[in-house]
Chain A
């Protein structure tokens, strides 16, 4: 029973604090499931992020489903998903009237603005962790090649993440296996 409560809390905390959409919850979720509960290693979490980005749909719910499933089977996955989506939807309905009235208020607009830099830092630290981990396991050259090529493909040529992740899987299978 206690595991379901933990699955609920890990996803609830990460999502109720994640201002700026699903991506903002990724580092908070990592903090919960890697640092706090120790369910996954940094390596496992980074695999989830990469493969999750290679699939369609919102990232926070894909992570929640998988984390919940690994820790608590199908009920775990459902609890993880519920904790991810329900609180923010309930909040939306509960505050709809107030938010509609004050939607142009600078205070309400400031909420996301003020939290954004903190999320930027969390994402920055996570980036460092992933690269450092990759440097330790795959070595500097493979890390640099994969990072530079994927950055150029994703950002410069706007290649779909599906193909970039597939390419990295093939590269890893051949050169890092």
Chain B
């Protein structure tokens, strides 16, 4: 069993060392939980990660919540999740509040303008990443059809993304359970 403090510290380290979005923290979490502390074996960690991936929302907080629970019950979960969200949330608020306080200075406005293209690049890279993952999991034809369908629904018909995503979820669950992947006939 693990103390709340050690759970907090493990996820605090993983959160603080994981730059560039939550996904970069997963290998660090794995190191803390499986390699260093032996709180879980390889297989269980992989299972939790797979489960977290099936559900919406941030992956990290689901992992820290579940692992915290497994190790220390309700308070273990609170420790794990708190360590993941509060320190970085506080840093974010402080940084942006300081920046906004000097908003009337031209050089601060310049700084704010300077980071917009960087945000564009970061989001663009993510967009491409999602396209490639779509292609890997379902092949180009299906991926292109779904991308085109999404563009029409959201950009041309101006339907809220929530409705489109709901339709996609229902379709995924309702279609017969045959594998859409290509490796079906290899036996």
Contact = CB atoms under 8 A, between A and B. Distances in A.
B9 interface: no
A48 B100 CA distance: 11
Contacts of A33: none
Nearest to A139: B113
Contacts of A2: none
A106 B146 contact: no
Contacts, number: 367
A69 to B, nearest CB: 5
B121 interface: yes
A21 B58 contact: yes
A91 B164 CA distance: 21
Nearest to B24: A56
Interface string B96-125: 110100000111111111111111111111
A64 to B, nearest CB: 7
A3 interface: no
Interface in B160-184: 160-162, 164-165, 168-169, 171-173, 175, 177-180
Q: How large is the interface on A (under 10, 10 to 19, 20 to 34, 35 or more residues)?
A: 35 or more
B43 interface: no
Interface in A148-165: 150-151, 154-155, 160-162, 164-165
Given A21-B23, A46-B116, A117-B130, A96 B51 contact: yes
A57 to B, nearest CB: 3
Q: How large is the interface on B (under 10, 10 to 19, 20 to 34, 35 or more residues)?
A: 35 or more
Contact of B96 (A51, A87, A116, A150): A51
Contacts of B54: 99, 103, 108-109, 111-112
A165 B165 CA distance: 32
B110 A31 contact: no
Given A47-B112, A56-B19, A85-B61, A154 B81 contact: no
Interface of B: 15-23, 25, 47, 50-62, 65-66, 69, 77, 81, 84-93, 95-97, 99, 105-127, 130-131, 133-134, 137-138, 143, 146-147, 149-151, 154-155, 160-162, 164-165, 168-169, 171-173, 175, 177-180
